[in-house]
Amino acid sequence: MVKLSKIMLSIYRNGAKIVWGSGVGRLPGVRPLNNFIISHIKPDFVELEGNKLFLDANDTLGLSIFGTHEKTETEFAKKQIKKGDVVLDIGANIGYYTLIFARAVGNKGKVFAFEPDPENFALLEKNVKINRYANVVLVKKAVSSKTGKLKLYADKNNKTDGRIYDSHDNRSSIDIDAVRLDDYFANYKGNVDFIKLDIQGAEWAAVTGMARLLKRNKKVKIITEFWPAGLKRFGVEPGDYLKLFVKNGFRLYELKEGIEAVNFLRLLEKYTPEKQNYTNLFCTRERLA
């Protein structure tokens, strides 16, 4: 039976790379069908980047299919992070980046992983423990502009798409804790060197809530998702999110196959709420060659 599952997974993997790359995966009904198939043939865990990673029921990140996740961003982040660094993983999900960061910073570094979804957090905790990382601090909270209670609107078919705002698409919600980073790190004396930020359109709230942290840490580097549709649903103009980084002294670069400086007008024309597309940006106060 195990051998049959491996054969089926191999066949599915070859077809999925073609289908998902064509955009068919966005059509109504395709994701639930994909999840049904995956739930029956996927392994319980994969081994990636020297880590053992247990997967959610639908393997939402596609790790058993594609063998990687955000390859360009992963390799770039690994080059930016040094031994002894302190890293924040905001929107840690099941721990793909958390484990990579923990390995990169070493025993003298530290990773703070924030994840509010109870199911994701359980897997995150399991993955950190199974890989024996003692340098990870797990925080079962959303990161926002205020410390308090919020509602998390989850998507049962996509465990990477939990939102702290109502996008009016018939999602169920649960009450969760949220924290402003300036509150969380109010008495923290160390540096913060690197931040990964991916919280489905609520990034603006997270950044406004870390104003003091950003001011104190002049050399901090950030990788953030830029998803105009999500930002708009949250009530923020995409251009205003970009301006927030400029206001804090950052230069913006788009992570693609390589890295290139952001032209605001071209970026806002390329990525729009109507297109539902997104990219990842690297934010640094240093000028890159």
pLDDT in tens, 4-15: 455 555 555 555
Residues 32 and 73 in one domain: no
Q: What is the pLDDT at residue 37?
A: 58
Q: What is the pLDDT at residue 4?
A: 40
pLDDT in tens, 133-180: 999 999 999 999 999 999 999 887 787 788 888 878 888 899 999 999
Helix, strand, coil shares of the chain, percent, nearest 5, are 40, 25, 35
Residues 20 and 163 in one domain: no
Q: What is the pLDDT at residue 40?
A: 54
Q: Buried b / exposed e across 70-82, counting CB within 10 Å, b at 16+?
A: beebeebbeeebe
Residues 228 and 276 in one domain: yes
Residue 165 lies in a domain: yes
The residue assigned the tokens 């997270």 is 206
Residues 25 and 81 in one domain: no
Extended beta strands in the chain, E state: 45-48, 51-54, 86-90, 110-114, 136-139, 142-143, 148-155, 158-163, 173-179, 194-197, 221-226, 251-255, 259-261, 279-284
Residues 243 and 187 in one domain: yes
Residue 56 lies in a domain: no
Calculate ∠ Cα 85-87-93, nearest 5°. 150
Q: What is the mean pLDDT of the chain?
A: 88
Residue 59 lies in a domain: no
Q: What is the pLDDT at residue 170?
A: 81
Number of domains in the chain: 2
- 278 with 226: CB under 8 angstroms? yes
Residues 112 and 251 in one domain: yes
Q: Buried b / exposed e across 86-112, counting CB within 10 Å, b at 16+?
A: bbbbbbbbbbbbbbbbbbbbeeebbbb
Residues 89 and 22 in one domain: no
Residue 54 lies in a domain: no
Q: What is the pLDDT at residue 42?
A: 72
Residue 24 lies in a domain: yes
Residues 197 and 119 in one domain: yes
CATH number at residue 212: 3.40.50.150
Residue 55 lies in a domain: no
Residues 108 and 239 in one domain: yes
- 60 with 162: CB under 8 angstroms? no
Residues 165 and 224 in one domain: yes
Q: How many CA atoms does the CB half-sphere of 86 hold within 13 Å? A: 12
Residue 149 lies in a domain: yes
pLDDT in tens, 227-241: 999 999 999 999 999
Range of the domain at 238: 66-284
Residues 7 and 114 in one domain: no
pTM: 0.87
Residues 35 and 126 in one domain: no
Which residues of the chain, if any, have pLDDT below 50?
1-4, 17-18, 21-24
- Distance between CA atoms of 153 and 162, rounded to whole angstroms? 6
- 94 with 61: CB under 8 angstroms? yes
